[in-house]
Amino acid sequence: MAKYQDRRHAGRQLATLLGEYVDQPEVLVLGLPRGGIPVAYEVALALQAPLDVFLVRKLGVPGHEELAMGAVATGGVRVLSSDVIAAFGLNEAKIAAVTALELEELERRERAFRDDRPAPDFEDRTCILIDDGLATGSTMYAAVLALRQQEPQRIVIAVPVAAGSTCLDLGREVDDIICAATPEPFYAVGLWYEDFAQTTDEKVRQLLTRAAEELPAVPHK
């Protein structure tokens, strides 16, 4: 496949595959920060749908932080892996301590990205989760689990590029999945972009602010 010029270009290309969601009042576009936000902005613009950020923080096992025992996400939702917790004999106090730290960081980032705007109301919405690509898909999987607890009507994943196996696996977890390209061999998301420079917090803020001015309002409870 030809490389995307940058994330905004990838978003415009991805939007061409999401025609069925144009001008649908129940649609809410959710970007995973930070790299998913420029992609999601272009999709939201094309669909004329509200845009917001969906934050996910992994809950690492104490002493083995790279291993997830769960995740917390936008809306204060917590998802736990009972298998991992049982395997490491983790008690509620340890789980609560890790959760508190990650919730604090999640809230800090939400303030940085969203200012004082409240988290969206996801109930009965068609939520389109967007990132700049999927390698292992672990963050997106955590986002899907957390979002499902908020009772949306449908969950859709849309990405410009993904590992084929990850696209297949995540497709079993959601109502619809659009992986615009699944090149083989895949290697890494960044290889499929000419410009894959890090998206800054300030850029995320700018795009969300612009979306709030240009697009339909994000629904709140």
Phi, psi (deg, nearest 5) at residue 48: 55, 55
106 and 151 belong to one structural domain: no
Q: Read off the CATH number of the domain in which 140 is found.
A: 3.40.50.2020
Q: Read off the CATH number of the domain in which 106 is found.
A: 3.30.1310.20
Find out whether 187 and 161 touch, Cβ atoms under 8 Å: no
| Tens digit of each residue's pLDDT (9 = 90 or more) over 48-60 | 999 999 999 889 9
Q: What confidence score (pLDDT) does residue 156 get?
A: 98
Task: Tell me if residue 193 falls in helix, strand or coil.
Answer: strand
Q: What confidence score (pLDDT) does residue 214 get?
A: 94
Residue 87 lies in a domain: yes
Q: What confidence score (pLDDT) does residue 65 get?
A: 84
Count of residues in the chain: 221
| Tens digit of each residue's pLDDT (9 = 90 or more) over 86-123 | 999 999 999 999 999 999 988 888 888 887 788 899 99
Task: Look at residue 126 and tell me whether its pLDDT is greater than 90.
Answer: yes
Q: How far apart are CA 61 and CA 150, in angstroms?
A: 25
Q: How far apart are CA 163 and CA 186, in angstroms?
A: 6
Residue 1 lies in a domain: no
Instruction: For helices 164-171 and 138-148, give the axis angle rounded to 10 degrees.
Output: 10
Looking at every residue in the chain, the average pLDDT score rounds to 93
Segment 160-171 mean pLDDT? 96
Instruction: Return the closest-CA partner of residue 80 out of 67, 91, 68.
Output: 68
Residue 51 lies in a domain: yes
| Tens digit of each residue's pLDDT (9 = 90 or more) over 13-28 | 999 999 999 999 999 9
Measured CA distances, 91 to 22, 94, 127 (Å)? 47, 6, 34
114 CB-near residues (< 8 Å, 6+ apart): 52, 53, 208
43 and 125 belong to one structural domain: yes
Segment 150-168 mean pLDDT? 96
Least confident interval from 2-11, 57-66, 168-177, 182-191: 57-66
Q: Which residue range forms the structural domain that includes residue 97? A: 57-114
Number of domains in the chain: 2
Q: Could you report how far apart the first and last alpha carbons of the chain are, in Å? A: 42
Q: How far apart are CA 7 and CA 40, in angstroms?
A: 9
pLDDT over 90 percentage in the chain: 75
Task: Select from 92, 114, 136 the last residue of a domain.
Answer: 114
Residue 81 lies in a domain: yes
Could you tell me whether strands 176-179 and 154-159 are parallel, antiparallel, or unpaired per DSSP bridges?
Answer: parallel
